[in-house]
Amino acid sequence: MAEEAVKVKSRKKEFVGIVKSDKMDKTIVVAVETMALHPLYKKYVTRIKKVKAHDEINEAKIGDRVRVVECRPISKEKCWKLAAIVERAR
């Protein structure tokens, strides 16, 4: 009996954000926007977090919308890697 390939959902976090800097070698800075409900005022507030992601072949440029995925720590601040470029900057 042939075994079927079973798709296992990854437990790694994924974010979609915009590249703010690509000046470092093999590293990009991605701004990730999230909406959070304010506990007192019950209003949605936009929160922006900047993460450093590993870009092995330096393909992402400033303004690109990219998907980053969690990975093992590569350096002191870099524990994300570039999964895909969702949309190129115009």
CB 63 within 8 A of CB 89: yes
First-to-last alpha carbon distance for the chain, in angstroms, is 51
pLDDT band of residue 83 (cuts 50, 70, 90) is very high
CB 30 within 8 A of CB 50: yes
pTM for this structure? 0.84
Q: Which amino acid is at 30?
A: V
pLDDT for 4: 65
Distance, CA of 87 to CA of 90 (rounded, Å) = 9
**Per-residue pLDDT reduced to its tens digit, 11-41:** 899 999 999 999 999 999 999 999 999 999 9
Q: Domains in the chain, please, with CATH?
A: 14-87 (2.40.50.140)
